Amino acid sequence: MFTRTESFKEFIRFYPIVSIILLLNILFYLLTVLFPNSYIFERLAGVNLFIREGEVWRLATPMFMHSGFAHVLFNSFSLVLFGPALEKIAGKARFAGIYLITGISANVATLLLEPLTYTHVGSSGAIFGLFGFFAAVAYFRKDLMSREGSQIIITIAVIGLIMTFIQPNINISAHIFGFISGFLIGALSLKRNR
Burial class of residue 193 in the structure, from the number of CB atoms within 10 Å of its CB (0-12 exposed, 13-18 middle, 19+ buried): exposed
Active-site hit among 66, 71, 120, 175 = 175
Of residues 34, 43, 31, 29, the one with CA closest to residue 74: 29
Active-site hit among 124, 150, 173, 181 = 124
Helix, strand, coil % in the chain, rounded to nearest 5: 80, 0, 20
Residue 4 burial (CB count, 10 A): 11
Active site residue 124: yes
Active site residue 175: yes
Amino acid at 104: I
Q: Which residues are annotated as catalytic?
A: 124, 175
